[in-house]
């Protein structure tokens, strides 16, 4: 190659003094990188995971206020106008057309503006107006922080559930529970790090996308079970004694370890063995944590788990008790669902046609158990290190759909609330317009909610990454900021 064809940098490397200078600079850079990594100052920090112990607890990037998360996901899009977002102007304009409003929304022609279907009253010392639909949760108002200006990217249930759970509208991305357990592992090695508890009426519209690992290692997928539907196939088959089953597992463990020693560095094999060993431990731990028979009768009454007149409420209340038991035992992330798949609003909060009639039923299932769960966590001291988030995939329009008694989908302004570790209580942040149609003050996205949740866990949402198909992926994509106004 002609010397003249080389770049100036290339010619410098052919010079002995230039080569030595470049080498010294390179070694200095390597040393600096090592020091920055040791002190957790590099831009992106993928956790170091031992394939043989993928669920081992890992330190957060920064001091954390929370080390566990309970995410209460109300599927079907709960109306902010019937729950937490009081709009006196909507009462005054009841029955009038929305000036300049859309003639057609998601499901068809728009009708007139419709007042909230429930009365609102001032609650607690803050005097915040909360609906009579949820009197038990209303009693917690001073303990909650409300975000009134959330927005979504889509007005369709499945994709919006994806967005709320994974930060992306399309399928195939890891859920927030997967990201959290990938970053932090788990405090217990006897139970799954991430548990999803489906509603007694069925799974949500986006199904397992809500607790999927996406492109993260398979170990970080959520494990779905409930008080009604425990994990199957945990007991030995009929005719196999517990001793024989235990002896067989010990023998298999010994064979696996010998095979692993013969193939050092086989991460897939180590991960598979770790998965089987967790399954073996779950044969004892899951039946124990799922057994609610030792819970005191008075506490079952507090949750509503003994309500014989409303078996769906009792079943959901038992799921709430299961969620508390999982958090007590060190499960890192619990996703508790209220509401199932699309069903014309019969099985979830999708109130298109008979909103009040359906919401009367859904609130009777959700309100008392959720409020009891929050109080129970507080009384046991678990809110000191547990972040609780109540959320839904989007909101609903201020007008009824034409010819119906329900509201259409609204991704432009809705409410969630948070409580527990690191949360400033009795505050509200953001606002929708005077009719509750669109967020207009301190507008937030789901990315902002996720960034705030990760921050409380000691995770910088911009630094937690995973390389997939040549792209450094994040839960928050390239967006998101921490809502510091609601932090204590």
Of residues 379 and 3, more confidence is placed in: 379
Q: Give the three-class secondary structure for 377.
A: helix
What distance in Å separates the CA atoms of residue 398 and residue 62, rounded to the nearest whole number? 42
- Which run of H or of E encompasses 431? strand 431-432
Q: What is the pLDDT of residue 248?
A: 83
Number of Cα atoms under 13 Å in the Cβ half of residue 431:
7
- The number of residues making up the chain comes to 488
Q: What is the pLDDT of residue 42?
A: 47
Structure tokens at 381: 């001291």
Q: Is the distance from CB of 464 to CB of 36 less than 8 angstroms?
A: no
What's the whole-number average pLDDT of the chain? 90
Of residues 285 and 161, more confidence is placed in: 161
Write the CATH number of the domain with boundaries 68-227+292-486: 3.40.720
Q: Is the distance from CB of 13 to CB of 21 less than 8 angstroms?
A: no
The least confident of 114-123, 165-174, 246-255, 467-476 is 246-255
Q: Is the distance from CB of 168 to CB of 162 less than 8 angstroms?
A: yes
Structure tokens at 16: 């002995």
- The neighbouring-strand residues paired with 419 are 388
Give the tens place of pLDDT for each residue, 391-422.
999 999 999 999 999 999 999 999 999 999 99
What distance in Å separates the CA atoms of residue 454 and residue 480, rounded to the nearest whole number? 11
Q: Taking residues 437-453, report their average pLDDT.
A: 98
Of residues 285 and 201, more confidence is placed in: 201
What distance in Å separates the CA atoms of residue 221 and residue 206, rounded to the nearest whole number? 15
Question: What residue spans define the domains of the chain?
Answer: 3-38, 68-227+292-486
Of residues 52 and 139, more confidence is placed in: 139
What distance in Å separates the CA atoms of residue 94 and residue 115, rounded to the nearest whole number? 5
Q: Which residues contact 189 (CB under 8 A, 6 or more apart)?
A: 55, 56, 278, 281
The least confident of 7-16, 241-250, 344-353 is 7-16
Q: Taking residues 343-361, report their average pLDDT.
A: 96
Q: What is the pLDDT of residue 41?
A: 47
Q: What is the pLDDT of residue 21?
A: 58
What distance in Å separates the CA atoms of residue 322 and residue 291, rounded to the nearest whole number? 9
pLDDT of 141 higher than 80 = yes
**Beta-sheet strands, E only, within 163-288:** 194-197, 223-224
What distance in Å separates the CA atoms of residue 283 and residue 278, rounded to the nearest whole number? 9
DSSP letter for each residue of 234-253? -SPPTT--HHHHHHHHHHHH
What's the pTM?
0.87
What distance in Å separates the CA atoms of residue 429 and residue 84, rounded to the nearest whole number? 12
Return the residue matching tokens 């942040």: 429
pLDDT band at 16 (very low <50, low <70, confident <90, very high): low
Q: Taking residues 51-68, report their average pLDDT.
A: 93
Of residues 453 and 218, more confidence is placed in: 453
Rounded to a whole number of angstroms, the distance between the first and last alpha carbons of the chain is 65
Of residues 50 and 223, more confidence is placed in: 223
Identify which of 262, 276, 248 has the alpha carbon closest to the alpha carbon of residue 52.
Answer: 276
Count CB-CB contacts under 10 A for residue 175: 31
Identify which of 348, 423, 440 has the alpha carbon closest to the alpha carbon of residue 386.
Answer: 423
The least confident of 43-47, 88-92, 100-104, 276-280 is 43-47
pLDDT band at 15 (very low <50, low <70, confident <90, very high): low
Identify which of 77, 320, 356, 79 has the alpha carbon closest to the alpha carbon of residue 206.
Answer: 77
Share of the chain above pLDDT 70, in %: 90
pLDDT of 58 higher than 90 = yes
pLDDT band at 109 (very low <50, low <70, confident <90, very high): very high
The least confident of 281-295, 329-343, 347-361, 381-395 is 281-295
What distance in Å separates the CA atoms of residue 284 and residue 190, rounded to the nearest whole number? 8
Q: Which residues contact 368 (CB under 8 A, 6 or more apart)?
A: 136, 303, 304, 313, 317
Q: Is the distance from CB of 310 to CB of 365 less than 8 angstroms?
A: yes
For helices 267-290 and 242-262, angle between their N-to-C axes, nearest 10 degrees: 160
Q: Give the three-class secondary structure for 286.
A: helix
Of residues 37 and 153, more confidence is placed in: 153
Cβ density class 134-162: b for 16+ within 10 Å, e for less: bebbbbbbebbbbbbbbbbbbbbbbbbbb
Q: Taking residues 437-462, report their average pLDDT.
A: 98
DSSP letter for each residue of 2-35? -GGGS-HHHHHHHSHHHHHHHHHHHHHHHHHHHH
Q: What is the pLDDT of residue 37?
A: 46
pLDDT band at 261 (very low <50, low <70, confident <90, very high): confident
pLDDT of 277 higher than 90 = no
Identify which of 290, 303, 406 has the alpha carbon closest to the alpha carbon of residue 346.
Answer: 406
């Amino acid at each position: 190659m002609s010397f003249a064809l080389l770049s100036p940098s290339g010619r410098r490397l052919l010079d002995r003094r230039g080569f030595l200078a470049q080498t010294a600079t390179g070694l200095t850079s390597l040393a600096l990188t090592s020091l920055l990594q040791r002190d957790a100052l590099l831009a992106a920090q993928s956790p170091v995971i031992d394939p043989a112990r993928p669920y081992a607890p890992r330190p957060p990037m920064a001091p954390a206020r929370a080390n566990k998360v309970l995410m209460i996901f109300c599927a079907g899009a709960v109306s902010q106008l019937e729950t937490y977002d009081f709009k006196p102007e909507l009462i005054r304009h009841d029955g009038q057309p929305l000036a300049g409003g859309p003639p057609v929304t998601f499901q068809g022609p728009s009708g007139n503006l419709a007042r909230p279907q429930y009365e609102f009253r001032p609650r607690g010392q803050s005097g915040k107006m909360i609906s009579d639909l949820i009197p038990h949760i209303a009693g917690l108002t001073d303990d909650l922080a409300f975000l009134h200006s959330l927005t979504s990217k889509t007005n369709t249930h499945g994709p919006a559930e994806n967005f709320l759970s994974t930060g992306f509208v399309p399928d195939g991305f890891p859920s927030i529970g997967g990201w959290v357990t990938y970053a932090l592992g788990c405090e217990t090695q006897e139970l799954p790090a991430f548990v999803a508890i489906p509603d007694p009426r069925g799974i949500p519209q986006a199904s397992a996308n809500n607790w999927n690992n996406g492109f993260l290692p398979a170990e970080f997928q959520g494990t779905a079970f409930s008080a009604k539907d425990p994990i199957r196939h945990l007991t030995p088959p009929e005719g196999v004694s517990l001793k024989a089953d235990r002896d067989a597992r010990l023998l298999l463990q010994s064979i696996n370890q010998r095979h692993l020693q013969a193939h050092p560095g086989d991460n897939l094999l180590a991960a598979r063995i770790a998965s089987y060993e967790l399954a073996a431990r779950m044969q004892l731990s899951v039946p124990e944590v799922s057994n609610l028979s030792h819970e005191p009768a008075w506490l079952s009454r507090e949750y509503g788990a003994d309500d014989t007149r409303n078996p769906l409420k009792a079943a959901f209340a038992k799921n709430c008790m299961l969620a508390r038991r999982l958090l007590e035992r060190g499960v890192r992330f619990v996703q508790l669902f209220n509401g199932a798949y699309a069903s014309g609003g019969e099985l979830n909060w999708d109130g298109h046609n008979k909103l009040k009639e359906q919401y009367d039923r859904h609130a009777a299932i959700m309100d008392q158990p959720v409020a009891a769960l929050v109080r129970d966590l507080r009384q046991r001291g678990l809110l000191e290190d547990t972040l609780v988030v109540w959320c839904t995939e989007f909101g609903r329009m201020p007008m009824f759909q034409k010819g119906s008694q329900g509201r259409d989908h609204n991704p432009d302004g809705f409410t969630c609330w948070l409580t527990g570790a690191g949360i400033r209580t009795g505050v509200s942040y953001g606002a929708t317009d005077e009719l509750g149609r669109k967020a207009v003050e301190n507008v937030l996205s789901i990315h902002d909610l996720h960034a705030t949740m990760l921050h409380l866990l000691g995770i910088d949402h911009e630094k937690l990454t995973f390389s997939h198909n040549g792209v450094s992926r994040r839960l928050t994509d390239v967006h998101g900021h921490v809502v510091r106004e609601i932090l204590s």
